[in-house]
Amino acid sequence: MSAATPGGISSAAPRLRPGLALPIAMIALAGLVTSSCAPAVIGAGTAAVAASSTDKGLSTSVSDNLIVTKLNDKFIQNDASLFVDVDVSVNDAAVLMTGKVKTPEEKILSTKLAWEVRGVREVVNELQVVDRSSLKDVAKDLAASAQLRGKLIADPDVSSLNFNIDVVNGTVYLSGVAADAEEMNRVVSHARELRFAQQVVNYISLRSDLRD
C-alpha cells in the first residue's frame, strides 16, 4: 500500500534512510562532473588512439609526416612547380609520388630530391610526363630500364629497392642510397653494361652521407 499524504495524495516513491542520502548525492555529483569532462578527455587523446589503432603507430606516423614536410620544402627550394604538380604520400618511410609533370627532367629531379630526405627507405615514382616531344625512343628506354632492374634484382650484393632507375634518350639516371661505395659501384657498373645506355648519370648517395 502507498503511504497517504496529508492532502490525500498517495506517494509510491520509497523513502531513503537518513544515512544513505549523502553518499547517493555524492555519487550523482561525481557522475555529472565525469560526464561533463569526458568530451575534453576524449578530444585530447583522439589522435593518439587513432594512430595506435593503425599498423604504423604514432611514432611512425610522425616520421612519415616529417618526410612529407621535408620533401615538399625541397620541391619549393628547387622547382616550385613540383610542389604544385606532385602528390606525395609516405607509408612507413616509403615515398609514393603521383601526378603529372611537364618534362622527364622534372620526374628525375623529384626522385633525386626524395632520396635526399633522411629516413626514406624506398621511392616509388609514378609521375606521368605530359610533354613527351623530347623523347626519341621510348621503347629502347623502357627496355634498358627493365633490363637494369633485372640485373639489380639478380645481384645478391645489391639491395635493389634502394635504387631508382630512369632512362631518357639513352641516358641512365641512377638515384638512391647505397650501403657503401662498393654497392654503388656495382649498380653503376650494371648500368654501363646496358646495350642501349649511352651515358650514366649517378645521383646515388652513400648511407654514411649526411641527409636532411
In the predicted structure, residue 6 carries a pLDDT above the cut 50: no
The helix (H) or strand (E) run that includes residue 146 is: helix 138-154
Contacts of 123 (CB under 8 A, 6+ apart): 94, 95, 97, 111, 114, 115, 164, 175, 176
**Neighbouring C-beta atoms of residue 116, cutoff 10 Å:** 20
Sign of CA dihedral 114, 115, 117, 118: positive
Q: Which residue has the higher pLDDT, 31 or 107?
A: 107
Distances (CA, A) of 40 to 47, 49, 67, 202: 13, 14, 31, 54
* Domains along the sequence of the chain with CATH: 54-132 (3.30.1340.30), 135-212 (3.30.300.130)
In the predicted structure, residue 205 carries a pLDDT above the cut 80: yes
What's the pLDDT tens digit per position in 42-55? 343 333 333 433 45
**Mean pLDDT (the chain, rounded):** 80
What's the pLDDT tens digit per position in 126-142? 999 998 888 888 999 99
CA–CA separation, 197 vs 165, rounded Å?
A: 12
- pLDDT at position 212: 75
- pLDDT at position 210: 73
What's the pLDDT tens digit per position in 59-100? 677 899 999 999 999 999 999 999 999 999 999 999 999 999
CA–CA separation, 72 vs 77, rounded Å?
A: 9
